[in-house]
Amino acid sequence: MMKTNEDALGVSLDERWKKYRDELKVCKQEFSEEAVHDLRVATRRLLAVLDMLRALDPHPRVQRARRLLKNQLDSLDDLRDTQVMLVEVYESIANFPELKPFEEYLLAREKKSLRRARKEIRDMEISEVKRRIEKSRSSLQEKAGVSDWTARLLSVVDQAYARAGQAFGQIEASQSTSIHRFRVTFKKFRYMVEILYPVLMGFPEEYLKRMHDYQSRMGDVQDVEVLLGTLVEFGERKAGSIPPSVCKSFEDQRAETVATFMEGKEEIQLFWRAAPDQKFLWEQNDEPVYHSSRNSSGGRNARVRKRQPASTDGQGQKENAKDRSGIEGTGDGN
């Protein structure tokens, strides 16, 4: 199942720790939408390695490093969500000029989030994370040569896939939050597969993109859900500012993204083995081939995707807002 018993996890830790430090340095020097996006991607990928490491070696230092990085990532969430909503509003305001007050609210919110994010990034210290990761790397080198290391690595991914499977079984089309819960577990599984991909025997390279697209369809659902919830909340505070027809349009959009995901949700079965004692589908001659009858870009027809999960190992499509040259263009002009 694996090509060699090489230190795949250690190599990934080295590469992703370096990538994270490089992106943080760039972001501190050149605060822009692209730089923030790349830092978020690098942080998520480093967290994926630490998740695997924590499962293999549940030492407090790993948990502490993970917590520090997760807090940094969470501090940028509001900015990212606000900018994603602004993209949608920009595209919709021609048909719904009633969204103008909501757009102004989002621009003010973006401005505050920009200031907060810039300060968060400027003040980010990684000395404690560095110390803990270096100790974890030394410990990992000692463990990587043990006889059952390959089996242990695969077992961690088996467990992540099982957790995703549990969340998958609880999906209800009428509850988009259930799709979001599944998406969170699937994302962790996907990143773990990417860590081991270089040494997985026979793993189809095309599955990396298919997992990306699969996750992206769930992200479309979440984007509309966040926008709709924020819009409704805004409308309640500003009574009468948002007509029911506007909310209805976004409700229809949410239903479309849910339907797109639900039609192809069974694709998850291709990406990993059903149980540790079973073969991977790509090892079987009768491997099924999944093809969605919908647009392969995932719903909303010609709409630009608002939430792009990182492409394989971080060289992904940027989340730049349409017709916006960078973060500072509409928010904080300083």
One-letter-per-residue 3-state SS of the chain: CECCCCCHHHHHHHHHHHHHHHHHHHHHHCCCHHHHHHHHHHHHHHHHHHHHHHHHCCCHHHHHHHHHHHHHHHCCHHHHHHHHHHHHHHHHCCCCHHHHHHHHHHHHHHHHHHHHHHHHHHHCCCHHHHHHHHHHHHHHHHHCCCCCHHHHHHHHHHHHHHHHHHHHHCCECCEHHHHHHHHHHHHHHHHHHHHHHHHECCCCCHHHHHHHHHHHHHHHHHHHHHHHHHHHHHHHHCCCCCCHHHHHHHHHHHHHHHHHHHHCHHHHHHCCCCCCCCCCHHHCCCCCCCCCCCCCCCCCCCCCCCCCCCCHHHCCCCCCCCCCCCHHHCCCCC
The pLDDT score that the predictor gives to residue 152 is 85
The pLDDT score that the predictor gives to residue 1 is 57
Q: What is the pLDDT of residues 6-20, one digit of tens each?
A: 578 888 999 999 999
What domains can be seen in the chain, in order of their start residue? Answer: 8-284 (1.40.20.10)
The pLDDT score that the predictor gives to residue 19 is 96
**Residue segments in the chain with a per-residue pLDDT below the cut of 70:** 1-6, 144-147, 285-334
The pLDDT score that the predictor gives to residue 272 is 94
pTM of the model: 0.82
